[in-house]
């Protein structure tokens, strides 16, 4: 079967071209031992049309999709373990147009974490053009520090972003505010702060289309600092 399907439909004498579709393959791994994860929930959202695709990985950890080409996608992979205190963290990634059409299996690596700890890594959000840490942000950082105490080998990365309308300098200010607090708590060696800029928008509000009108709530989703477990 061809990977690329191009369909033409004709309605009332007018010729319409359906969206091109490509085969996208994913495998979910346990990052510790590289074993495939069966039963993981995989969700893809087209950031142009907002259409969602949902599948569950098979016994070999695979999930195969037919996706519209020419769009970026938000990918979420997660797995909850029933009857056990150990579960998997949710994996979130922004797929570029090139990654969607690439003819190779995308690898998603999930980390195991105690269920009682899995809620301790919520993203932090910032007011437009501001770098100050809110009370909610301070609570999130405090929870991350508690995770370090519970897991002696745990290492965390905090990725700092801005929305597409903000000046780039604001990312550095946000990263500096987070780093200063971590230094004051003696945690700078185990938590790395990285500046990613106003890329990897989590929705269609990336300033690429002047006809898309976004609410401040949507822009707020992109003014974030995300936690990522890099060693466990």
Whole-prediction pTM: 0.56
CA 67 – CA 92 distance, rounded (Å): 18
8 Å CB contact between 26 and 106: yes
Q: What CATH architecture does domain 1-116 belong to?
A: Sandwich (2.60)
Q: What CATH architecture does domain 118-232 belong to?
A: 2-Layer Sandwich (3.30)
8 Å CB contact between 101 and 71: no
Residue 85 is predicted with a pLDDT of: 57
Tokens in use for 138? 């301070």
Domain extent listing, the chain: 1-116, 118-232
CA 42 – CA 63 distance, rounded (Å): 8
Domains 1-116 and 118-232 share a fold: no
Cα dihedral sign, 76-81-82-84:
negative
Residue 229 is predicted with a pLDDT of: 77
Residue 232 is predicted with a pLDDT of: 63
Tens digit of pLDDT per residue, the chain (232 long)?
433 333 333 343 444 445 689 999 999 998 888 999 999 999 999 988 989 999 999 999 999 999 999 998 989 898 876 555 566 776 778 888 889 999 899 999 887 765 444 445 778 999 999 999 999 899 889 888 988 887 788 889 999 999 999 998 999 999 999 999 999 999 999 999 999 988 888 888 999 888 899 999 899 999 999 998 777 6
pLDDT single digits (tens) 130-177: 999 999 899 889 888 988 887 788 889 999 999 999 998 999 999 999
Residue 82 is predicted with a pLDDT of: 58
Residue 146 is predicted with a pLDDT of: 85
Residue 184 is predicted with a pLDDT of: 96
Residue 118 is predicted with a pLDDT of: 46
The DSSP line for 110-178 is E-EEETTTGGG-PPEE--TT--PPPHHHHHHHHHHHHHHHH-TT-EEEEEEE--TTS-THHHHHHHHHH
Q: What is the 3-state secondary structure (H, E, C) of 165-176?
A: CCCCHHHHHHHH
């Amino acid at each position: 079967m061809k990977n690329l399907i191009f369909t033409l439909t004709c309605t009332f004498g007018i010729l319409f071209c359906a969206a091109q579709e490509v085969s996208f393959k994913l495998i979910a791994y346990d990052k510790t031992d590289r074993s495939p994860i069966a039963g993981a929930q995989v969700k893809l959202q087209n950031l142009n049309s907002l259409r969602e695709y949902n599948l569950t990985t098979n016994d070999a950890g695979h999930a195969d999709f037919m996706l519209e080409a020419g769009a970026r996608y938000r990918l979420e992979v997660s797995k909850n373990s029933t009857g056990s205190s150990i579960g998997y963290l949710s994996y979130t990634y922004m797929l570029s147009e090139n990654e969607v059409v690439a003819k190779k299996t995308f690898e998603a690596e999930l980390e195991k974490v105690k269920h009682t700890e899995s809620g301790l890594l919520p993203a932090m959000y910032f007011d437009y053009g501001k770098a100050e840490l809110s009370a909610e942000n301070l609570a999130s950082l405090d929870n991350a520090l508690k995770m370090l105490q519970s897991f002696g080998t745990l290492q965390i990365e905090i990725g700092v972003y801005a929305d597409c309308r903000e000046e780039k300098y604001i990312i550095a200010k946000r990263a500096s505010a987070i780093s200063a607090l971590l230094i004051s708590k003696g945690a700078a060696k185990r938590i790395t702060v990285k500046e990613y800029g106003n890329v990897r928008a989590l929705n269609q509000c990336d300033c690429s289309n002047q006809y898309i009108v976004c609410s401040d709530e949507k822009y707020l989703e992109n003014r974030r600092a995300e936690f990522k477990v890099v060693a466990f």
